[in-house]
Structure 1
Amino acid sequence: MCLTMFITQSELIAQLTTESPVILNRDQPLYLVERNFRHALAQPISASWSNVGIRTVLERIEKTQQISLILDRRIDPSTTLKIDLQNQSVEAGLDEIASALHARAIVVGSNVYLGPDQAMGTFKTLLAQKQQELLALSDNQPDMKTRATQLSRNKSFYYQDLDTPVQLLNQIADSYQITISNPERIPHDLWSHGALMAVNANEALLLVLNQLNLTFLWEKQGTAIRLLPVPDHVTVQKTYSSRGRSLNETIEHLKELFPAAMITREGRMLLVDASADLQEKVEAELNPSKRPVRKMGTPQIDVLPIQRRKFTLRAQKVPVLAVMQKLEQSGIEFEYQPQQLNQAGVDLTQRIDISVQNADANEFFDVLFGPLNLSYQIEGIKVSLTPDN
């Protein structure tokens, strides 16, 4: 909840107490993460609330389902809802709740983040930008490769009632050994308790800063950030190959479908400058047979075991880690020890060229992990990675 010039701190505490009791030393919640979190989102839920505040509704779901839910501070937590969920998945139910708030729910790490629709689109684009920044730094500065791997590790953070965003950001910064160059830009605010579960550095920082209409710039080889206001127009660049049409025909076709995107030619590839939401639509248009990233509220689809899948991918100079992250979105899990890989000189941000067509799992992962001298073992939907001896 925001502390503004219209509300004194004592009045704010009174409001928080009315909605839910203020407890300054809550026990650390036992929320589910990773595979267990995704499984929980698919479980059925039946519940009804009438004229109940959104904070109370979400806290009830958090408690019963053991999942972390983050309500953006720009949504009034006292907003009352009339919700009737009957035997639908938790994920679909949260999507319905978000819709009732004229908001959107997205999965970030092992959390469901609910916020204003436009702000969530901006958040997704900023997250893609930050990932590209780290990859660019690791390409241009060899010393950044290990640092980029460190910042990609998932961690969890907890905060209490009446904690401030400064306290939470300092907790994140200390954990990843980051200096905030201009902390004076962080506005004073008092938040209700919550958690950021299984998030990397980019996700953790943006989950806090985006709610304050701030973003950041990586500095000093990934050991510092400078806070910046969120620009009015946020885009990210991605390249794609053309299929079924000439490059020029594809460009014209995409420009007709997506006039808000900047689409140009870069060698034999398409360069698209657009929001993350538009990038997903462009990718779906260019690769209609490719399984789309599942959105909140869509029907639950059983995850196909890896050995029963076929893989098609053509990309140039793509980081192996970026491919892994994309595969994770389709339900594939990767298990490895970052320290073990670092000691063996394995760099997951290494860029490779990859071209496979309707390949089975072993053929695909041979091509993906062969250049890194990584061994892999497939079991169900999990891929375990170890350095070659």
Structure 2
Amino acid sequence: MPRLFWLLFIVGGLTVQLQAQSSSVRANADDSLDAPTQAVAGEPLRQALAQRRALYASGQTLRAAVTELQSATGVAVVLDRRIDPGTVIEVSTGFVSVRETIVAISESVPKAAASIGDRYVFVGPPVAARRLRTLTEIKREAVEQVRRSMDAAKYRTLVATRAASWSDLAQPRQLIIDAASDAGLQVDNPDVVPHDLWAAAQLPDLNFADFATLVLNQFDFTFELNSDGIVTIVPVPDQVVVEKQHRVRSREKQDVAKRWRAAFPDLDVSWKGAMATVTARVETHERLEQLIRGDAPVMVQAAGIRDRSFTMTVPDGTPVGTVINSLQGQGIAIRIEGRSGEKLASVLQQTMQLKVDRMPAAEFFKLAFGGLGATVDIRQDEVVLRFSEDGQ
């Protein structure tokens, strides 16, 4: 399967987006880039999160960076109501997965963290982000429990997924009321949700439990549901954890237990033979399963510079130095030989305009920098702009 490498540069008012992939698969990859991007979930979301990209954002708002990311990848990102979308961020990554890019964005925002689930990504206060996936799991299980005592047709309506996106100035209280009504439910106490107005959000289809958890968690609420279809909004409990069992091969139990202790020194594990019972967050359970398998992080090398193609738009009047700094911020090394001091400053202050679409590196760098009077040497690990000797 072709691996796409995405780059997004945001420098003040300059936005430069690059797409790069191995030249051997460029034609096939280019065809896929023309399709409109929609919010993805499940396996498509997992694949989108595994894509590699680089991000350089300087002087750009959190909202703008998140919007660009979602547009490029299809990964739905929801900002908690308590996070200021106008926060100016400074982020620079190398070629990393979209998952790592999202974490880097969240870490650039004061008192924020990311929760990456199977339907969407949430960026909010650390406490709210840390508990979200576990709350979602608990509510899914609660819905499953009422199945035994609920009419079959009513249950199918309850668990069906529906359009979950909302528009600008949406009121969360009304969102909950409408979602419950669509699911055949009634909210007993909607007035506990404070009045608020939210910016638009694009999401994949969600069932009621997932949608209500996403909305209510932002007010430190969750919900209870009975078999009559009555929803009661309640405070989130102090501890949000789930109990799960993990089966380990008997001959590997000692090694697995050692890996678990190294990763989670304070974790309480109850063993019964080769079966371990653990009460923890969903993310902890997932990591425990990885450690059972002995999984280690997989490092994927990005394609060399000469094997990439680029799409780039640079507005007229942009200094050459700005574009070079952007490229260097993404791990594309650019070295200038034969110019220093005032002569180097003169080169960097020259302005340029550029618009190319999926151009191979050999053509792209010569078009971008060849007009400076330099010889452009494109290597796998760097680009060298070579001028004649200083003073000549």
CA distance in structure 1 between the aligned counterparts of 2:215 and 2:48, rounded to whole angstroms: 24
Aligned counterpart in structure 2 of residue 126 of structure 1, from 117, 123, 135: 135
Contact 1:47–1:86 at 8 Å: present in 2 too? Answer: yes
| Residue in 2 that maps onto 1:196 | 203
CA distance in structure 2 between the aligned counterparts of 1:245 and 1:83, rounded to whole angstroms: 45
CA distance in structure 1 between the aligned counterparts of 2:122 and 2:260, rounded to whole angstroms: 31
Displacement after TM superposition at 1:154 (Å): 3.0
CA displacement, residues 281-310 of structure 1 (integer Å, 9 cap, x when unaligned): 44344x234x69x9xxx7679xxxxxxxxx
**Residue type of the partner of 1:31?**
Q
Pair 1:300–1:41, CA change in 2 (3 A): farther
CA distance in structure 2 between the aligned counterparts of 1:249 and 1:36, rounded to whole angstroms: 34
CA distance in structure 1 between the aligned counterparts of 2:299 and 2:259, rounded to whole angstroms: 30
Pair 1:30–1:242, CA change in 2 (3 A): closer
Aligned counterpart in structure 1 of residue 293 of structure 2, from 280, 288, 293: 288
**How many aligned positions are there?**
264
- Give RMSD over aligned pairs: 3.7
CA distance in structure 1 between the aligned counterparts of 2:75 and 2:255, rounded to whole angstroms: 46
Matches within 5 A, 1:44-123: 44-101=52-109, 103-123=112-132
| Residue in 2 that maps onto 1:208 | 215
Per the alignment, in what secondary structure is the counterpart of residue 33 of structure 1? coil
**Is residue 169 from structure 1 mapped to residue 176 from structure 2 by the alignment?**
yes
**Residue type of the partner of 1:78?**
G
Displacement after TM superposition at 1:217 (Å): 1.3
Per the alignment, in what secondary structure is the counterpart of residue 222 of structure 2? strand
CA distance in structure 1 between the aligned counterparts of 2:74 and 2:258, rounded to whole angstroms: 48
Contact 2:170–2:197 at 8 Å: present in 1 too? Answer: yes
Per the alignment, in what secondary structure is the counterpart of residue 159 of structure 1? coil
**Residue type of the partner of 1:130?**
K
Displacement after TM superposition at 1:59 (Å): 2.0
CA distance in structure 2 between the aligned counterparts of 1:42 and 1:283, rounded to whole angstroms: 19
**Is residue 178 from structure 1 mapped to residue 185 from structure 2 by the alignment?**
yes
Contact 1:157–1:171 at 8 Å: present in 2 too? Answer: no
**Is residue 230 from structure 1 mapped to residue 236 from structure 2 by the alignment?**
yes
Contact 2:55–2:101 at 8 Å: present in 1 too? Answer: no
Pair 1:85–1:153, CA change in 2 (3 A): farther
Displacement after TM superposition at 1:93 (Å): 1.9
Pair 1:249–1:156, CA change in 2 (3 A): same
Pair 1:129–1:145, CA change in 2 (3 A): farther
Gaps of at least 5 residues in structure 1 are 1-28, 302-389
Matches within 5 A, 1:351-366: none
**Residue type of the partner of 1:95?**
V
CA distance in structure 2 between the aligned counterparts of 1:52 and 1:177, rounded to whole angstroms: 42
CA distance in structure 1 between the aligned counterparts of 2:252 and 2:49, rounded to whole angstroms: 42
CA distance in structure 2 between the aligned counterparts of 1:209 and 1:182, rounded to whole angstroms: 13
Pair 1:55–1:299, CA change in 2 (3 A): farther
Q: Which has the larger radius of gyration?
A: 2
CA distance in structure 2 between the aligned counterparts of 1:33 and 1:129, rounded to whole angstroms: 23
Aligned counterpart in structure 2 of residue 277 of structure 1, from 249, 273, 283: 283
TM-score by length of 2: 0.57
CA displacement, residues 203-233 of structure 1 (integer Å, 9 cap, x when unaligned): 1111111111111112125x22211111222
Contact 1:255–1:263 at 8 Å: present in 2 too? Answer: no
Displacement after TM superposition at 1:258 (Å): 4.5
CA distance in structure 1 between the aligned counterparts of 2:46 and 2:83, rounded to whole angstroms: 25
CA distance in structure 2 between the aligned counterparts of 1:192 and 1:278, rounded to whole angstroms: 32
CA displacement, residues 129-167 of structure 1 (integer Å, 9 cap, x when unaligned): 1122233333xx254666555444333222222211112
Contact 1:121–1:276 at 8 Å: present in 2 too? Answer: no
Pair 1:263–1:65, CA change in 2 (3 A): closer
Pair 1:173–1:109, CA change in 2 (3 A): farther
**Residue type of the partner of 2:100?**
A
Contact 1:42–1:300 at 8 Å: present in 2 too? Answer: no
**Residue type of the partner of 2:212?**
L
Matches within 5 A, 1:246-265: 258=264, 260-264=266-270
Contact 1:247–1:270 at 8 Å: present in 2 too? Answer: no
Gaps of at least 5 residues in structure 2 are 1-35, 302-392
| Residue in 2 that maps onto 1:220 | 227
CA distance in structure 2 between the aligned counterparts of 1:211 and 1:275, rounded to whole angstroms: 18
CA distance in structure 1 between the aligned counterparts of 2:241 and 2:45, rounded to whole angstroms: 30
Displacement after TM superposition at 1:252 (Å): 11
**Residue type of the partner of 1:105?**
A
**Residue type of the partner of 1:288?**
R
Displacement after TM superposition at 1:193 (Å): 0.9
**Residue type of the partner of 1:165?**
P
Aligned residues with identical type, % of pairs: 26
**Residue type of the partner of 1:164?**
Q
| Residue in 2 that maps onto 1:244 | 250
Pair 1:268–1:97, CA change in 2 (3 A): closer
Per the alignment, in what secondary structure is the counterpart of residue 58 of structure 2? strand
Contact 1:92–1:299 at 8 Å: present in 2 too? Answer: no
